[in-house]
Chain A
Amino acid sequence: MREITVTQALEEAMIEEMERDERVIAFATVRAPALENKFGDRRVRFTPISEAAFTGIGLGAAGSGFRPVVNWGMVTFSFVAMDQIVNQASKIRYMFGGQADFPVTFRCTTGGGIQLAAQHSQSPYSMFMHLAGLKIVLPSTPADAKGLLKSSIRDNNPVVFFECSRLAGVTGPVPDGDHIVPIGVADVKRPGRDVTVVGLAYYVHEALAIADTLAKEGISIEVLDPRTLVPMDAPAIRASVRRTGRLVVVDEAPATCSAASEIIALVTEDPETFRALRSPVQRVCAAPVPVPYTPTLEQAALPDRARIEAAIRRVL
């Protein structure tokens, strides 16, 4: 199978969906020459740096029959559009009694590890998970990125599509043709017997690398990627933990009220899964600080292989 990067996979998804449905339109604060050349500047617009306006424009156009893909750039910039996200997008369908659909996709990069310092190294997906009414997607591979972006654009709800910055250039196999990954379905990236490691985005790859290393010691790690955070595929995560009896969750967001916390709650409040646990569950998350700039401090703030491996050894 051909191998492409996450960035290439996402661009393929955009082109294919814009070809498939002329109601798909795109806005971003930076120009997208490939899309603009192909689809013209009516459907592909670059916007002023006015996140509140173009977030709400996406919502209003979605409620008026279009399927906008709004690119915030970094998730950082979404915070100046919080009224449109929190008060409008997440509530608009339900509070109006379901009388209209709002098929809008909000794309943004997320995460640290590339020395962009505090404001540009954030992983705030749990803030968005907390709002009832948004679907949340966080892929880790080029194939999942492509298949999930296509599903997000076709979904009739507001979807926040997170793109991990450190994975942009990562390559992987992507099937030819109309490759679709459904929203809400987790994926076991590596089956194993002894410990379930749930990784998010970049940390799926780190977990896989550690699983290789520990396999040499006869430790069998199952690596599970939720791929979407809302809806969370709790049955798949619980089933994995019931098989292994042990759980480590790895993410680069701080632990407090995080996706990792939510995953652990979903596991431990299920009686059957709780009884299957053989040791306390572990979170390996970022330190509760704004992500610092200089590499020594940034590495100290974010999870690393040593800490993930230590957590795995604690549950064994």
Chain B
Amino acid sequence: MAQDKADLVEMLRKMILIREFDLLAIELRKAKRIYGALHPYVGEEAIAVGVCAALRPTDRITSTHRGHGHCIAKGADINRMMAELFGRVDGYCKGKGGSMHIADFAIGMLGANGIVAGGMPIACGAALAAQLEDRGGVAACFFGDGATGEGEFHETLNISSIWKLPLIFVCENNRYGAGNAVESVRRVTDIEQHAPAYGIPGVAVDGNDVLAIRDATAQAVERARCGDGPTLLHCKTFRWLFHAMRDAPQPDMRSADLLAEWRGRERDPIARFEDWLGSQSLLGPGELKTLRDRVKRDLDAAVEFAEKSPHPDPNDLLVDMFAE
């Protein structure tokens, strides 16, 4: 793929923004300024950004409960995302969805989803629409390792293979399905091995290498656009933080050594990409600081935007129930 500097730096900006957005959301939730449940994407930023870098703006994606990263990577407006977390009328869902149900149909982001594997058939439908439209569009569905235990995973692999749908299956294997380590709930942990059983390619990728993910996605997209059908990408990563939090994060039962290994500069997807960009003379220390300052300013502005937006009027409770 082309190594255009502006594109690469934009990928890094999105990765940093995703991480800082979620770290900020955790603090906002602890301070009870936002509500409900949060599922941070920290440590997995390379996958959303790498995949979306290989998609067109008109391509469609579905997301998961851990969905803020997918929104930002697909180009969502963080002001409206933040307003949604604050439950305000200027949020993407006018405060009706919250963290687990952010969607932006205008940019092809067909929704975060609180049900494991729930978005997979919907992505399959978006891929069918792309096939029928015949304009070279594709769909991508993000899902975790936990989703591979659901019937919807197997059903959509099979049906999309039969119909040669332009669909990219993106398994974000962060090694935990809620509180369960992947090896405690699966005999086969090489998720890509499911692909040949359904007659499609399965590709294992370093889930913390944003360029490897972008390139693997680009190949899958090319195959999909040619009418050759879906691909299963197995992106191996690690969930840095807890599965979910409400008032407070769940206690982390994992060993300190394991956490330190994955959070170190060698494996951290953002640090790795920063270092690579530096080694290629594509990003100097000054530029990195400018980028990080911009992310902070944008997030401060998003919080200000959200707080200025009013809460919905209870009289509008039934608005949006049915279309005309």
Q: List 27 A-B contacts (CB under 8 A).
A: A25-B132, A47-B159, A48-B155, A52-B121, A53-B121, A56-B118, A56-B120, A57-B159, A59-B125, A61-B126, A62-B125, A64-B60, A64-B129, A65-B129, A66-B128, A83-B152, A88-B122, A94-B96, A94-B321, A96-B101, A97-B97, A98-B94, A98-B323, A99-B92, A101-B323, A132-B321, A156-B324
**Contact between B124 and A93 (Cβ–Cβ < 8 Å)?**
no
Residue in A50, A61, A103 whose CB lies within 8 Å of B158: A50
User: Which chain A residues (58-115) contact chain B, with CB distance < 8 Å?
Assistant: 58-66, 68, 80, 83-84, 87-88, 92-103
A238 at the interface (CB under 8 A from B): no
A125 at the interface (CB under 8 A from B): no
**Contact between A56 and B124 (Cβ–Cβ < 8 Å)?**
yes
Expressed in whole angstroms, the Cα–Cα distance for A62 and B111 within the complex equals 14
**0/1 string, A127-162, CB within 8 A of B gives 1:** 000001101000000000000000000011100000
Where the two chains meet, the residues of B that have a C-beta atom closer than 8 Å to any C-beta of A are 60, 62, 91-97, 101, 103-106, 110-111, 113-115, 117-118, 120-130, 132-133, 139, 151-152, 155-156, 158-159, 162-163, 319-324
Query: What is the distance, in angstroms, from A85's C-beta to the closest C-beta of chain B?
Result: 11
List the A residue with the shortest CB-CB distance to B123. A60
**Contact between A60 and B93 (Cβ–Cβ < 8 Å)?**
no
Expressed in whole angstroms, the Cα–Cα distance for A175 and B111 within the complex equals 43
For chain A, the count of residues having a C-beta within 8 Å of the partner chain is 46
List the B residue with the shortest CB-CB distance to A101. B323
Which among A92, A96, A157 has the highest number of chain B CB atoms within 10 Å? A96
List the 3 shortest-distance A-B pairs measured between CB atoms, nearest first. Answer: A60-B125, A56-B121, A98-B320
**Contact between A64 and B97 (Cβ–Cβ < 8 Å)?**
no
Contacts of B162 in A (CB 8 A): 48
Contacts of B95 in A (CB 8 A): 97
List the B residue with the shortest CB-CB distance to A60. B125
- Whether A53 touches B152, Cβ cut-off 8 Å, given contacts A59-B122, A87-B114, A96-B92, is yes
A54 at the interface (CB under 8 A from B): yes
Which among A45, A53, A65 has the highest number of chain B CB atoms within 10 Å? A53
Expressed in whole angstroms, the Cα–Cα distance for A155 and B324 within the complex equals 8
Expressed in whole angstroms, the Cα–Cα distance for A25 and B131 within the complex equals 13
Contacts of B105 in A (CB 8 A): 63, 96, 99-100
Query: What is the distance, in angstroms, from A162's C-beta to the closest C-beta of chain B?
Result: 19
Expressed in whole angstroms, the Cα–Cα distance for A59 and B111 within the complex equals 12
A42 at the interface (CB under 8 A from B): yes
**Contact between B118 and A61 (Cβ–Cβ < 8 Å)?**
no
- Whether A83 touches B111, Cβ cut-off 8 Å, given contacts A47-B159, A60-B125, A97-B96, is no
Residue in A52, A95, A98, A157 whose CB lies within 8 Å of B101: A95
Expressed in whole angstroms, the Cα–Cα distance for A48 and B124 within the complex equals 14
**Contact between A157 and B96 (Cβ–Cβ < 8 Å)?**
no
Query: What is the distance, in angstroms, from A69's C-beta to the closest C-beta of chain B?
Result: 13
Where the two chains meet, the residues of A that have a C-beta atom closer than 8 Å to any C-beta of B are 25, 42-43, 45, 47-48, 50, 52-66, 68, 80, 83-84, 87-88, 92-103, 132-133, 135, 155-157
Contacts of B320 in A (CB 8 A): 93-94, 97-98
**Contact between B103 and A99 (Cβ–Cβ < 8 Å)?**
yes
Residue in B106, B115, B128, B321 whose CB lies within 8 Å of A60: B128
Which among B92, B130, B320 has the highest number of chain A CB atoms within 10 Å? B320
Q: What is the number of contacts between chain A and chain B, taking CB atoms within 8 Å?
A: 147
**Contact between B111 and A66 (Cβ–Cβ < 8 Å)?**
no
Expressed in whole angstroms, the Cα–Cα distance for A59 and B151 within the complex equals 17
List the B residue with the shortest CB-CB distance to A230. B322
**Contact between B322 and A157 (Cβ–Cβ < 8 Å)?**
yes
Residue in B93, B155, B321 whose CB lies within 8 Å of A53: B155
List the B residue with the shortest CB-CB distance to A54. B159
**Contact between A97 and B132 (Cβ–Cβ < 8 Å)?**
no
Contacts of B115 in A (CB 8 A): 83, 87-88
**Contact between A92 and B111 (Cβ–Cβ < 8 Å)?**
yes
Contacts of A47 in B (CB 8 A): 159
List the A residue with the shortest CB-CB distance to B159. A53
**Contact between A48 and B128 (Cβ–Cβ < 8 Å)?**
no
**Contact between A63 and B132 (Cβ–Cβ < 8 Å)?**
no
Contacts of B129 in A (CB 8 A): 60-61, 64-66
Residue in A61, A96, A98, A132 whose CB lies within 8 Å of B125: A61
Contacts of A155 in B (CB 8 A): 323
Which among A83, A87, A101, A132 has the highest number of chain B CB atoms within 10 Å? A83
List the B residue with the shortest CB-CB distance to A27. B128
List the B residue with the shortest CB-CB distance to A50. B155
**Contact between A84 and B93 (Cβ–Cβ < 8 Å)?**
no
**Contact between B159 and A96 (Cβ–Cβ < 8 Å)?**
no
Contacts of A45 in B (CB 8 A): 163
List the B residue with the shortest CB-CB distance to A155. B323
**Contact between A56 and B151 (Cβ–Cβ < 8 Å)?**
no
- Whether A66 touches B132, Cβ cut-off 8 Å, given contacts A56-B120, A60-B125, A132-B321, is yes
Contacts of A57 in B (CB 8 A): 121-122, 124-125, 128, 159
**Contact between B128 and A59 (Cβ–Cβ < 8 Å)?**
no
Which among B95, B115, B124, B139 has the highest number of chain A CB atoms within 10 Å? B124
List the B residue with the shortest CB-CB distance to A135. B322
List the A residue with the shortest CB-CB distance to B111. A96
Expressed in whole angstroms, the Cα–Cα distance for A89 and B115 within the complex equals 13
